A and B are shown apart, each in its own frame.
Chain A
Amino acid sequence: MSSVDHETQHAPSAESGPPGYYEIMEIAVRELLIEKKLIGAAEIRHQLEVLDSRSPALGARIVARAWVDPAFRTRLLARGRHTCEQEFGISFYDDTDLIVLENTDRMHNLIVCTLCSCYPRPVLGLPPDWFKLKPYRARAVREPRAVLAEFGTLIPEHVEVRVHDSTAMVRYMVLPRRPEGTDHYTEEQLAALVTRDTMIGVVEASTQRSNA
């Protein structure tokens, strides 16, 4: 990818213009901590490796397993963090809990963090930029159906929308509904249908590739 493409894709969020107030503060604090030998550059690099090792592909494997294994699904919904730790070897390095929320034909779950950008990083990696920006954070709790519609997700009137605002200790991941016509799919093929956005709850899993 050329640097021009890179800038174009990230234009609204960062990487252009002078560093902001908090960015400068973060650099200053980090350099001070290193200078005073409270943490080392190697620890920071290692933590980045921890973060980079987590991605929606992990969550997708969990979802696919839940679709094919009802006993696993039950354990996952009852004890999200514990089940991911025990059965997928996923560590919760940030010491958050995880509640997995199942979408059904009567209930649709949507995840937001109105205060900041709490996100189930251990299982999904870093949140998308829009998840961290104020329009999504403010509107998801105020007019969830309008927000969902903008993602192309139309929720029937009789379906209950549950908006989950993550704050202190608990993070959420949505277990989307398994798409129709996937009975013959392998677990691996199913995992390929599970995108990041389906696990945030802004879209439903589908066998149709979107062009977005």
Chain B
Amino acid sequence: MDKASQGAASIVFATGEQPLFRAGDRVRVRAHMPIGHYRVPLYLRGKIGVVESVITPAGIDNEQEGFGHNAGSRRHYYRIAVPLTEIWSASAASVPANSPVTAVHDRLYIEVFENWLERPA
């Protein structure tokens, strides 16, 4: 065990310092519709996926940076996987065998900043 993790028990992290989600967590992409340019595609908003990995180190939030606000702030950033059937509202059963369009196990992968994710109820 390295020094960093030996000390971990006594360390109190500042708010936002540690990622809220970990690999395997179910997450919902927030259904926010702010005006302007954002990096979360519309088709994913409100959809539920699973965290594949936490991207490290945390990244500069380029949505904020893009608007000239709070440039330089870092946010946790996640790689998530979402079934294509979840995105396009097709039930798994409604995808025919050998569909020329998609299969039930096909998935979309994307990176999303933490402020766009929430825990589904």
CA distance A145 to B100 in the complex (A): 6
Interface size on A, residues (CB 8 A): 22
B31 touches A (CB below 8 Å): no
B77 touches A (CB below 8 Å): yes
Q: Look across to chain A and name the residue whose beta carbon is closest to the beta carbon of B87.
A: A141
Interface hub of A114, A141, A143 (most chain B Cβ within 10 A):
A141
Q: Which of B39, B98, B101 contacts A143 (CB 8 A)?
A: B101
Contact at B97–A157, with CB atoms within 8 Å? yes
Given A114-B43, A144-B106, A163-B84: A169 touches B101 (CB 8 Å cut-off): no
Contact at B108–A157, with CB atoms within 8 Å? no
B83 to chain A, nearest CB (A): 10
B32 to chain A, nearest CB (A): 15
B110 touches A (CB below 8 Å): yes
Contact at B59–A162, with CB atoms within 8 Å? no
Contact at B43–A143, with CB atoms within 8 Å? no
Contact at B77–A115, with CB atoms within 8 Å? no
A3 to chain B, nearest CB (A): 37
In the bound complex, residues from chain B placing their C-beta under 8 Å from that of A163 are 84, 106-109
Report B19-49 residues with CB < 8 Å from chain A CB.
Answer: 39-41, 43
Report B78-121 residues with CB < 8 Å from chain A CB.
Answer: 79, 81, 84, 87-88, 97-103, 105-113
CA distance A142 to B9 in the complex (A): 46
Q: Which of B88, B101, B113 contacts A168 (CB 8 A)?
A: B113
B55 touches A (CB below 8 Å): yes
Q: Which of A142, A157, A170 contacts B111 (CB 8 A)?
A: A170
Contact at A167–B41, with CB atoms within 8 Å? yes
What residues of chain A have their CB less than 8 Å away from a CB belonging to chain B? 97, 99, 114-115, 141-146, 149, 157, 160-165, 167-170
What residues of chain B have their CB less than 8 Å away from a CB belonging to chain A? 39-41, 43, 55, 59, 62-63, 77, 79, 81, 84, 87-88, 97-103, 105-113
A sample of 11 cross-chain residue pairs with beta-carbon separation below 8 angstroms, ordered by A number, consists of A114-B43, A142-B88, A143-B101, A144-B84, A144-B101, A144-B102, A161-B103, A162-B107, A167-B39, A168-B39, A170-B111
Not counting A143-B101, A165-B110, a sample of 14 additional A-B residue pairs whose C-beta atoms are within 8 angstroms of each other reads A114-B43, A141-B84, A143-B100, A145-B103, A146-B101, A157-B97, A160-B107, A161-B103, A162-B109, A164-B108, A164-B109, A167-B40, A168-B113, A170-B79
